[in-house]
Amino acid sequence: MSIVYTPCPFCALQCGVTIKQTTKGQRIVGKPHDPISEGHLCRKGLASLEVLNHTQRIEAPLLRSTRTQPLTATSWTTALDAVAERLRSIKKNWGPDSIAVYGSGALTNETAYILGKFARLALGTREIDYNGRFCMSSAAKAYVTMLGLDRPTSTFEDIRQAETLLIVGSNLSDAHPMAMRAIQHAKTHGATIIVIDPRRTRLAKSADYHLAIRPGTDGFLAWAMIHSIIQQNLVNHDFVTNRTLGFEEMAKQARHYSPHVVSLLTGISPKIIETISRLFAVSTRSMLLHGRGMEQYQHGVEAVSAFLNVVLVTGQIGRPGTGAVMLTGQANGQGGRELGQKSDQLPGSRPITDPIHRQAIARVWGVDPQTIPPAGRFTASEFFPAIDRGDIKALMVVGANPLLSAPDTSAVRHAVKNLEFLVVIDPILTETAQEADVVIPAGGFGVAEGTITNVEARIVPVLPLSSHLRPVNAWQDWQVFQELAKRLDSAQYFPYQTTREIFEEMQKATEGAPSDYSGTSWESIMSGQIAHWPITKDSPLGTPRLYETAFAFSDGRARFSTLVPGPATELTNSEYPFHLITGRLGAHYNSGAQTRFMPTLKKTPTSTLFIHPKTARQLAISDGSPVRVTNSHGTSLTLTAHITQDIRQDTVFVSMHNELDKAINHLIPLGPLSLSGMPEFKHTVVSLSPLQSLYEEVTVVEEVDLGITL
């Protein structure tokens, strides 16, 4: 029997799994002593072996010569030659920036790093961005601007030690299930849990306070908390004076947001606003945790910034059991965004426009800084309109399924069809891959080797299964880019024999950068040493808790924010009276490309509309019946009603895991982007109409009843 320890392929907790391989097959259990899951796994983790023999898994490259032909299996050489030849000819005809690269937080650190290098050196394009733009970019912008680094300030050990936990727009119980262990630990030790979510999730049910806020109004709530903290004389003046800048201006702005006024916007009573503000301020150890629920709005950056103001004004940061934790979503949502996949960043979270950072990367890559293209013109969701305008002619998608997960599905589909060339690199034949000219399988669970940086900014080793048990013919992603680079006359930049060599080059590239990985080693990561970045030569064991003495600015001080909160882009009205909010189910994952085909997980249906019983009754909608959901642009989807008490009466919820013809992003327009480039994924307004009226059914039942009585 052999045993492999590797992380679960799904969320950013990266719980360790133990795969026991015997001649009879494989078995999966939790990894003992895992720092987050303590040896347990959620249902997705337990089902993860099903990713290996997934019905949509591809084992050989697929190719077609025209879009009207079906994709057929081909040799690696033919597929790689075809990709290189098409990209070379598009670059010659339209210039390098006509090729765009769409990366992912599902990739290892080494793949993320190589993808950025490949785009900028082998293709020479400035257009690279990734699906984390849809995920962590609003939180990242707020944290970098106010605290200095794009990283949660604290770890799960701090959550366990907290006395008050303020959890905003996060459905931990379904989206990060093993995190519930830390919450439960804190609760058992007397912590007060405050949850802000329009829905009563399992987390909300277990909380001391559940604020079922009106969607899109969190930013206002946070400002009312600041107002209330100042009014109740609960400002931590020592902290504010010694460790921050900009308090006076911020406090002046807070005057506009009295709990009374804000209660009208949010639906939360002034008394509750005052109570939770007091609790957060007076408790010795308070923490803020947040998910996408407040971030994926046009004013998501403003909302996160306002909550960080709450943390700073109360001085609840830099000590055990305090701080702010943006709950990263994807497996490598953290590392994925640090290593050069963002349109505006080079590896190490280095701003691409900064000459010193360009110089540092140019040195590691052995090129002139001029060779590194400038910042991209487009973020991930802007790629698709750019394709329609003719600015982008070829797209390379690596580890994402934008046909389902980017806003405005029909527009994305139209754009993808307009491309001269689409290549997808993914072990699964996703809906996006099905539209491609060439599909190349690489990486993924059981195959990928390297490292991932988890929700705590802790670097974890990723190991492949032994060769006789993993899918045949499996390639690492970097091998694909290396082979393509050879064909694009850039072999000299990709001389690697092993993944370790990439890790070591990546370490050099991050040395002295904001996200600094330089002080650890491949051996120590592979032997399971706990390491949270920054890991420098001076702090080789890393930094679990940030900002104990100074924030990451040259003067060491955090910055208060005066960004003004704003409403959701679309407001309910008589024609579209319901908020539609979107998010996750416990059994499925993101676009559903993996979980909709996994025998254990596919038992949980997708395409469901969660609706309150009173609303359902008013609209004559019965449980399990089809409902037409129409947005203000006149686009409709038919979904199946699931009646539940656990949602506001003016709000319905749909997951993002539906199959293509029911994809929720048919209803989410591209709309104005946030300051971070994030679309307003969480929200739109809709009208609802039953396709099968409850009253018709009731009439029939009454007739039968009458018959029996007579």
Ligand X SMILES: Nc1nc2c(c(=O)[nH]1)N[C@H]1C(S)=C(S)[C@@H](COP(=O)(O)OP(=O)(O)OC[C@H]3O[C@@H](n4cnc5c(=O)[nH]c(N)nc54)[C@H](O)[C@@H]3O)O[C@H]1N2
Residues in contact with Mo ion by CB under 5 A are 135, 329
- DSSP annotation of 11 reads B
Told to check if 219 binds ligand SF4 by CB under 6 A, we report: no
CA distance 82 to 62: 11
Q: Which is nearer to ligand SF4, 8 or 122 (CB)?
A: 8
Told to check if 11 binds ligand SF4 by CB under 6 A, we report: yes
Residues facing 579 on adjacent strands: 651, 685
Told to check if 177 binds ligand SF4 by CB under 6 A, we report: yes
Least distance to ligand X, CB of residue 140, Å: 12
Among all residues, whose Cβ is closest to ligand SF4? Answer: 45
Q: Record the tokens describing residue 482, joined without a space.
A: 């290396």
Stretch that binds ligand SF4, among 13-21, 200-208, 418-426, 694-702 (CB under 6 A): 13-21
Least distance to ligand SF4, CB of residue 175, Å: 8
Q: Which is nearer to ligand SF4, 118 or 445 (CB)?
A: 445
Q: Record the tokens describing residue 143, joined without a space.
A: 């944290």
Indicate the residue type of 33: H
The listed partner (ligand X, Mo ion, ligand SF4, none) that binds 343, CB under 5 to 8 Å by sort, is none
| 53-to-3, 73, 599 alpha-carbon distances in Å | 19, 18, 10
Give the burial class of 68: count Cβ atoms within 10 A of its Cβ; 0-12 exposed, 13-18 middle, 19 or more buried. exposed
Indicate the residue type of 675: L
Q: Record the tokens describing residue 631, joined without a space.
A: 């947005």
Told to check if 612 binds ligand X by CB under 6 A, we report: no
CA distance 425 to 151: 28
Q: Which is nearer to ligand X, 235 or 294 (CB)?
A: 294
Told to check if 313 binds ligand X by CB under 6 A, we report: no
Taking a C-beta distance cutoff of 8 angstroms, is the pair 9, 28 a contact?
no
Q: Hey, how many other C-beta atoms are within 10 angstroms of the C-beta on 539?
A: 15
CA distance 515 to 533: 7
Told to check if 300 binds ligand X by CB under 6 A, we report: no
Told to check if 590 binds ligand X by CB under 6 A, we report: yes
Q: Which is nearer to ligand X, 101 or 364 (CB)?
A: 101
Q: Is the peptide bond before 407 cis (omega within 30 degrees of 0)?
A: no
Told to check if 37 binds ligand SF4 by CB under 6 A, we report: yes
Which regions of 61-116 does DSSP assign to beta strands (E)? 62-63, 72-73, 99-103
Least distance to ligand SF4, CB of residue 36, Å: 7
Stretch that binds ligand SF4, among 172-180, 200-208, 309-317, 405-413 (CB under 6 A): 172-180
The listed partner (ligand SF4, Mo ion, ligand X, none) that binds 199, CB under 5 to 8 Å by sort, is ligand X
Told to check if 572 binds ligand X by CB under 6 A, we report: no
CA distance 35 to 458: 10
CA distance 66 to 52: 30
- For ligand X, which residue of 426, 437, 449, 570 counts as binding (CB under 6 A)? 426
Q: Record the tokens describing residue 20, joined without a space.
A: 């026991």
Least distance to ligand SF4, CB of residue 177, Å: 5
Told to check if 518 binds ligand X by CB under 6 A, we report: no
Least distance to ligand X, CB of residue 400, Å: 3
Taking a C-beta distance cutoff of 8 angstroms, is the pair 377, 404 a contact?
no
Q: Record the tokens describing residue 344, joined without a space.
A: 């505006």
Q: What is the DSSP string of 318-346?
A: SSTT-EEEE---BTTHHHHTTTT-STTEE
Told to check if 215 binds ligand X by CB under 6 A, we report: yes
Stretch that binds ligand SF4, among 37-45, 434-442, 482-490, 514-522 (CB under 6 A): 37-45
Told to check if 658 binds ligand X by CB under 6 A, we report: no
Return the closest-CA partner of residue 682 out of 407, 290, 380.
407
The three-state secondary structure class of 33 is coil
CA distance 22 to 600: 22
Indicate the residue type of 275: T
The listed partner (ligand SF4, ligand X, Mo ion, none) that binds 520, CB under 5 to 8 Å by sort, is none
Told to check if 681 binds ligand X by CB under 6 A, we report: yes
Report phi then psi at 310, rounded to 5.
-60, -45
Least distance to ligand SF4, CB of residue 526, Å: 20
β-strand pairing of 244-245 with 558-559: parallel
Least distance to ligand X, CB of residue 628, Å: 18
Told to check if 219 binds ligand X by CB under 6 A, we report: no
Stretch that binds ligand SF4, among 34-42, 111-119, 212-220, 356-364 (CB under 6 A): 34-42
Length of the chain counted residue by residue: 710
Told to check if 45 binds ligand SF4 by CB under 6 A, we report: yes
CA distance 607 to 656: 9
Stretch that binds ligand SF4, among 9-17, 75-83, 90-98, 661-669 (CB under 6 A): 9-17
Contacts to ligand X by CB under 6 A: 11, 104, 106-107, 131, 134-135, 168-171, 174-176, 196-199, 201, 213, 215-216, 218, 291-294, 296, 329-330, 398-402, 405, 425-428, 430, 442-444, 448, 477, 581-584, 586, 588-591, 593-594, 653, 656, 664-665, 668, 681-682
Contacts to ligand SF4 by CB under 6 A: 8, 10-11, 13-15, 37, 41-42, 44-45, 176-178
